């Protein structure tokens, strides 16, 4: 069994085989790593399965199945615009010497399925998708918020179905830490994924996952209450996947000249600088936005940029373009512009970066603290008098923030870099607090908690 991590999505794809034929579960849109793994193992891809219609990435399952002449397994109850092998609870599909049993595990989505793979009467492995996760479960509000509570009750029942399997069964979810689809029963992110080589079993989870020790109604209430925000691009991925968008190659990027970059800024397009936030603060193209390339790059582009708005990527390092374009295509953003900045050319727009130690030093300027973390972090502790604006809302409220110099912070400095650039683009005087939140306590800076937080 081969697990292929997709850290940019907080997900993983699985390739399980008998030495000759393989089943691939929940592949991403770019298939290079999957096909390389199959080739290195010397196996033929005979079947491909999606545990559910995904809300966080464009599936590569249909394309992979067609390229290899493999069966594409998906719930028979899903309405899609392409041919597939519709499967239902209790169906058993043979993949070489493997027996793949389909389990209906609704909750994360209405027609979610898990796949139990056995060989030679062994306990086997469960590919649980967004049902049972390591230390948590998949959230249930992505289909529609009105369905979230009912699906949470379904999730509770599905977890108990899984818990009734042989406790020696290995557990292999799709969603992991870093995925916005993953939740614990209290709404916090699920615990860290196991280290390479570690095997987690159903028995491990029944003994330590709080989903198994919580009554149904409490489980459903806690899960829905802690769901938190959903990245804006998620709403577009369900219809893209139902239409089979992943079967086509992404539209190619288009090179943009310096003049075209200027024109894009003037007409209000999103010009996104991939460079490090330190370099950006020291000098950038006025009107651009800093979203430093990282494993979370595509998430924040998809969350902040209105769907179908024009995007131009800027960098002085062309090697960053390929992974950035790949990550954007994974969530359905393609055909963007690209421009390589000359390293020798000075960039005039700048703003200041600071640490929390600098915040303690008195200044004569009126300053406003803008906290761009999510609500749960704010509730746990924030600076008295700070303004709370989650990063995804900064561009909407920039003009309404109080007068004065804006000191923008998050937990590590990454989101604050994005927010500072948005506020600077809006004409505000900003300071990017590029420091860890833990330094606030270390320096004895007073904090407050939200008295209304649960």
What's the pLDDT score for residue 178? Answer: 78
What's the pLDDT score for residue 97? Answer: 95
Measured CA to CA, the distance from residue 252 to residue 336 in angstroms comes to: 8
What's the pLDDT score for residue 454? Answer: 42
What's the pLDDT score for residue 180? Answer: 85
Strands 125-129 and 170-173 turn out to be: parallel
What's the pLDDT score for residue 187? Answer: 43
Contact 450, 443 (CB under 8 A): no
CATH number of residue 22's parent domain: 3.60.15.10
Helix%, strand%, coil% for the chain, nearest 5: 30, 25, 45
Q: How confident is the model at residue 198 (pLDDT cuts 50, 70, 90)?
A: confident
Check whether residue 213 and residue 124 sit in a common domain: yes
What's the pLDDT score for residue 66? Answer: 97
Measured CA to CA, the distance from residue 107 to residue 143 in angstroms comes to: 10
What's the pLDDT score for residue 124? Answer: 94
Mean pLDDT of the chain: 93
Q: Mean pLDDT lowest for which of 128-132, 279-283, 362-366, 375-379?
A: 362-366
Q: Per the domain annotation, does 200 fall within a domain?
A: yes
Check whether residue 28 and residue 147 sit in a common domain: yes
**If you average pLDDT over residues 131-151, what whole number do you get?**
94
Instruction: Concatenate the DSSP letters of all residues of 265-309 into one string.
Output: HHTT-EEEE-S-HHHHHHSB-TT-EE---STTHHHHHHHHSPTT-
Check whether residue 148 and residue 61 sit in a common domain: yes
Q: Two tokens at 387? A: 């303004």
Check whether residue 175 and residue 274 sit in a common domain: no
What's the pLDDT score for residue 450? Answer: 72
**If you average pLDDT over residues 189-215, what whole number do you get?**
80
265 or 187: whose pLDDT is higher? 265
Residue 189 reports pLDDT greater than 50? no
Check whether residue 151 and residue 202 sit in a common domain: yes
Q: How many domains does the chain have?
A: 3
What's the pLDDT score for residue 196? Answer: 57
Q: Tell me whether residue 1 is exposed, middle or buried, using C-beta atoms within 10 angstroms of its C-beta: 0 to 12, 13 to 18, 19 or more.
A: middle
Last residue of a domain, one of 197, 217, 242: 242
Q: Mean pLDDT lowest for which of 195-204, 210-219, 248-257, 426-435?
A: 195-204
Contact 417, 260 (CB under 8 A): no
Q: Is 419 left (phi over 0), alpha (psi -120 to 50) or beta?
A: alpha
What's the pLDDT score for residue 192? Answer: 52
Q: How confident is the model at residue 18 (pLDDT cuts 50, 70, 90)?
A: very high
H/E segment holding residue 337? strand 337-340
Q: Mean pLDDT lowest for which of 40-54, 175-189, 232-246, 394-408?
A: 175-189
Check whether residue 318 and residue 387 sit in a common domain: no
Q: How confident is the model at residue 184 (pLDDT cuts 50, 70, 90)?
A: low
Q: Per the domain annotation, does 447 fall within a domain?
A: no
Q: Per the domain annotation, does 451 fall within a domain?
A: no
SS3 408: strand
Contact 290, 423 (CB under 8 A): no
pLDDT tens figures, 387-433: 999 999 999 999 999 999 999 999 999 999 999 999 999 999 999 99
What's the pLDDT score for residue 344? Answer: 78
- Measure Cα distances from 231 to 41, 304, 331, 399, 451 in Å: 36, 8, 11, 23, 27
Measured CA to CA, the distance from residue 415 to residue 420 in angstroms comes to: 9
Query: To the nearest whole percent, how much of the chain has pLDDT over 90?
Result: 87
pLDDT tens figures, 358-398: 998 766 567 899 999 999 899 999 999 999 999 999 999 99
Check whether residue 291 and residue 421 sit in a common domain: no
Measure the N-to-C terminal CA separation of the chain; round to a whole number of Å. Answer: 42
Check whether residue 164 and residue 129 sit in a common domain: yes
Last residue of a domain, one of 194, 215, 242: 242
Check whether residue 127 and residue 202 sit in a common domain: yes
pTM summary value: 0.91
Q: Which residue range forms the structural domain that includes residue 61?
A: 2-242
CATH number of residue 370's parent domain: 3.40.250.10
Check whether residue 66 and residue 12 sit in a common domain: yes
């Amino acid at each position: 069994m081969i697990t292929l991590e997709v850290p940019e999505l907080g997900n993983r794809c699985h390739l399980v085989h008998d030495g000759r034929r393989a089943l691939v579960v929940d592949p991403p849109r770019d298939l290079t790593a999957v096909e390389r793994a199959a080739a290195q193992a010397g196996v033929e891809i005979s079947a491909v399965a999606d545990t559910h219609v995904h809300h966080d990435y464009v599936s590569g399952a249909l394309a992979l199945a067609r390229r290899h002449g493999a069966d594409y397994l998906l719930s028979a109850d899903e309405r899609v615009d392409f041919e597939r092998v519709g499967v239902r609870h209790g169906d058993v599909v043979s993949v070489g010497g493997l027996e793949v049993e389909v389990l209906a595990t609704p909750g994360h989505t209405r027609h979610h399925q898990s796949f139990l793979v056995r060989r030679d009467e062994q306990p086997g492995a469960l590919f649980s998708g967004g049902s049972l996760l390591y230390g948590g479960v998949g959230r249930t509000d992505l289909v529609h918020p009105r369905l979230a509570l009912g699906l949470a009750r379904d999730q509770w029942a599905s977890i108990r179905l899984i818990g009734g399997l042989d406790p020696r069964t290995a557990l292999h979810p799709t969603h992991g830490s870093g995925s916005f689809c993953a939740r614990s029963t209290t709404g916090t992110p699920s615990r860290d994924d196991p280290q390479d080589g570690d095997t987690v079993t159903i028995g491990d989870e029944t003994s330590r996952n709080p989903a198994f020790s919580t009554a149904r109604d409490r489980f459903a209430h806690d899960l829905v209450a802690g769901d938190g925000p959903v990245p804006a691009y998620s709403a577009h991925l369900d219809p893209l996947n139902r239409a089979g968008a992943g079967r086509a190659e992404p539209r190619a990027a288009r090179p943009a000249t310096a003049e075209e970059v200027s024109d894009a800024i003037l007409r209000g397009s999103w010009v996104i600088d991939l460079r490090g936030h330190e370099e950006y603060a020291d000098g950038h193209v006025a009107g651009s936005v800093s979203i430093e390339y990282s494993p979370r790059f595509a998430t924040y582009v998809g969350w902040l940029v209105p769907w179908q708005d024009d995007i131009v990527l800027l960098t002085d390092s062309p090697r960053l373009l390929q992974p950035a374009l790949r990550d954007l295509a994974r969530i359905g953003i393609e055909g963007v512009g690209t421009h390589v900045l000359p390293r020798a050319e000075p960039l005039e727009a700048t703003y200041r970066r600071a640490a929390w130690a600098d915040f303690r030093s008195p200044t004569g300027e009126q300053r406003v603290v803008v906290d761009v973390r999510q609500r749960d972090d704010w509730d746990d502790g924030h600076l008295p008098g700070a303004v709370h604006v989650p990063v995804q809302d900064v561009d909407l409220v920039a003009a309404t923030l109080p007068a004065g110099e804006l000191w923008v912070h998050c937990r590590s400095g990454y989101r604050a870099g994005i927010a500072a650039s948005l506020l600077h683009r809006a004409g505000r005087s900003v300071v990017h607090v590029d420091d860890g939140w833990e330094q606030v306590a270390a320096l004895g800076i007073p904090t407050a908690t939200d008295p209304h937080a649960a």
